[in-house]
Amino acid sequence: MRFNQVAFRYRRRAPWVLRDVTLTVPRGRIIEVNGRNGAGKSTLLRLVAGVVPPVRGSVGDRPPSVGYAPERFPAGQPFTARAYLGHMAAVRGVPAARVGEWAERLGFTGLLDTRLPDLSKGSAHKAGLIQALLAAPGLLVLDEPFAGLDAGTRAALPALLAELAAEGSSVIVSDHQGDLRSVPGVVRWQVADQTVHEGDPPEEQTVVEVIVARSQAEDLVGRLKADGYEARLR
Amino acid sequence: MIAAIRFQLSGYARSTRALPPVLALALLLGIVFSGPLGGTPAEARSGALTALGDLAALYFPICAWAARGLLDTEPDAQRHIGVVTLGRWRAMACGFAAAFVFNVCLALIAGAVPLVEAARSGVRASQLLPAMALLLLAALAATALGALASRALIPSPGRSVLVLLGVYVLDLLLGLGPLRVVTVPMIEWMGAAGRGPSAFTDALPWFALRTLAWAVLATALYARLRRMRA
């Protein structure tokens, strides 16, 4: 899947949220999307999932089966979790038994007969994850999937995502809390300045003062520069 | 797609949003049929067709309101999930189809009494079926208006109601003047129904064509505006 010169804003004459985004979504990898609040992470995920089309540029080769869990699960719907997920399974054309399988994996079985509006925030979030996982998606887009989850599910989710990636899915996750740090091979995208940078964000710089005899100062500065540090004599 | 339509209809039926349009229709039917349609068989025939003509115009805003309510029952984030799951066009088509199916049910309820009365009093099926088709076309045009006023296009509930009622009132007003050719011909078909069965039946094809054209254009506009919206 590929973004080519993608730009997006929500309304005409509104400020651009993203501009000139050109990137490739690698297959079979987990991508962690970072960035400060309001940087455009959720917008990027919506563009990836296909919730909104780009205003400029193009998005190509999106896998046919996409799972998407929004940041806030829409719990204000007049269904029990079982009825809702049963409907979603039918819409996706997968057997209803798949609901029970994923519910068991995410520790949700006991809540299947609870009405959606009565679910706690974390439990509603699990319902959102289950509906996204139902159809073995080739592309899985999860907006803040760790928020509100209980400790057990939170610890188990990275391994589950790694399993899906190993099976060939592209898994794109926005994450504030670094829950994917333990997973090897995670690709990192940084959303900042209306665009997306691939790779880890540059580490914060600091200044270390070294007091040394004047006769040794030039020699030390030379050695530090040779080691790749920025050093100067004052 | 059928599963998605069933999902939206099920959500609407389970919510309280479905009730107000149904109650409004019940009230309208109560007023229209508060007395007998006619004493003699000839009067009953005439009364039944007049009622069908009046109903198609009067239940138009109720159907538009119901369509808007059905589409707005789905929370925004669920609509986003639907777009991802089904694709933009199929998700939009499913919502529209679900609203139209609900409005077809309203049309059948609205048309039941005059249809039964007309059949009992000896009106031929060839006269009844076009009148019923007009009810369904009015439901289609009303569905398109409801969709245009839905939250996906107009997030503010106040503005949405204004647009829905404004278009209905504008349609009625334009229907009185020279621009009536661009309207859903509600005023005209109420007038034709009042002039008697033959005038109504003769005018039906022209009314039906204009209503269908209006519905197609409004649906195309809805599809175009939804193209760039989540």
User: Picking from B74-78, B88-92, B199-203, which range would have the lowest pLDDT averaged per residue?
Assistant: B199-203
pLDDT at position B119: 75
Q: Answer yes or no: is pLDDT of B223 > 90.
A: yes
The contacts of residue B124 (CB under 8 Å, 6+ apart) are none
Q: What average pLDDT does the segment B97-111 reach?
A: 93
Better-predicted residue by pLDDT, B112 or A66: A66
Q: What is the DSSP string of chain A?
A: -EEEEEEE-SSTTSPPSEEEEEEE--TT-EEEEE--TTSSHHHHHHHHHTSS--SEEEEE---S-EEEE-SS----SSSBHHHHHHHHHHHHT--THHHHHHHHHTT-GGGTTSBGGGS-HHHHHHHHHHHHHTT--SEEEEESTTTT--HHHHHHHHHHHHHHHHTT-EEEEE-SS-TTTTSTT-EEEEEETTEEEESPPPPPP--------HHHHHHHHHHHHHTT------
Of A55, A74, A92, the CB nearest to B78: A74
Count CB-CB contacts under 10 A for residue B159.
12
Q: Which of these, B133, B129, B145, B127, lies nearest to B60 by C-alpha position? A: B145
Contacts 24+ apart (CB under 8 A), B134-137: B134/B52, B134/B53, B134/B56, B134/B189, B134/B204, B134/B207, B134/B208, B134/B211, B135/B52, B135/B55, B135/B56, B135/B59, B135/B107, B135/B110, B135/B111, B136/B104, B136/B107, B137/B208, B137/B211, B137/B212, B137/B215
Q: Domain containing A42 — which CATH number?
A: 3.40.50.300
Alpha-carbon span B96 to B107, nearest angstrom: 16
Phi, psi of A26 (to 5 degrees): -70, 145
Domain that holds residue A232: 205-234
Single-letter amino acid, residue A116? L
Q: Are residues A123 and A218 in the same domain?
A: no
* Per-residue model confidence as pLDDT tens digits over A42-51: 999 999 999 9
Report the distance separating Cα B73 and Cα B28, nearest Å.
24
CB atoms closer than 10 angstroms to residue A134: 24
At residue A200 the predicted structure's pLDDT band, cuts being 50, 70 and 90, is low
Confidence tier at B56 by pLDDT (50, 70, 90): confident
Query: Helix, strand or coil for residue B99?
Result: helix
ipTM of the complex: 0.85
For chain A, give the number of residues: 234
Residue length, chain B? Answer: 230
Other Cβ atoms closer than 10 A to A218: 11
Is A79's CB within 8 Å of B84's CB? no
Nearest to A66 by CA among B93, B87, B32, B116: B87
> What integer best gives the mean pLDDT of chain B?
88
**CA-based nearest distance B92→chain A, Å:** 12
For residue B125, name the pLDDT band (cuts at 50, 70, 90): confident
Q: Which residues of A touch B89 (CB under 8 A)?
A: none
Residues of A in contact with B15 (CB under 8 A): 78
Residues of A in contact with B85 (CB under 8 A): 66, 68, 88, 91-92, 135
CA separation for the pair A211, B224 (Å, rounded): 69
Tell me what pLDDT residue A201 has: 58
Record: contact A90-B3, CB cut-off 8 A: yes
Domains in chain A, number: 2
Q: What is the mean pLDDT of residues A25-38?
A: 90
- DSSP letters of B57-70? HHTHHHHHHHHHHH
**Contact between chains at B84 and A68 (C-beta distance less than 8 A):** yes
Domain ranges, ordered by start, for chain B: 2-226
Whole-angstrom distance, CA of residue B137 vs CA of residue B104: 9
> With 90 as the cut, is the pLDDT of residue B220 above it?
yes
Contact present, B28 and B62 (Cβ < 8 Å): yes
User: Which phi-psi region, left, alpha or beta, contains residue A117 (left: φ > 0; alpha: ψ -120 to 50)?
Assistant: alpha
DSSP structural state of residue B124: -
The Cα–Cα gap between B112 and B129 comes to: 12
Taking the CA of residue B81 and the nearest CA in chain A, the distance in Å comes to 6
Per-residue confidence band for A203, with pLDDT thresholds at 50, 70 and 90: low
Q: Could you report how far apart the first and last alpha carbons of chain A are, in Å?
A: 51
Residue of B nearest to A137 (CA): B85
Which of A22-31, A73-82, A224-233, B210-219 is predicted least confidently?
A224-233
Which tens digits make up the pLDDT trace of A179-188?
887 788 889 9
A161 touches A171 (CB < 8 A): yes
Residue A202 pLDDT: 59
Q: How far apart are CA B27 and CA B67, in angstroms?
A: 19
Closest CA in chain B for residue A72: B77
Q: Pick B163 or B115 by higher pLDDT.
A: B163
Give the CA-trace dihedral at B158, B159, B164, B166, to 10 degrees: 110
Q: What is the pLDDT of residues B9-18, one digit of tens each?
A: 999 999 989 9
B84–A50 C-beta distance less than 8 A: yes
Q: What is the mean pLDDT of residues B99-114?
A: 90
pLDDT recorded at residue B89 = 92
What's the whole-number average pLDDT of chain A? 90
Pairing verdict, β A195-198 and A187-192: antiparallel
Neighbouring-strand partners of residue A60: A2
A55 touches chain B (CB under 8 A): yes
Q: Write down the pLDDT at residue B171.
A: 92
In which band, very low, low, confident or very high, does the pLDDT at A5 lie, cut at 50, 70 and 90?
very high
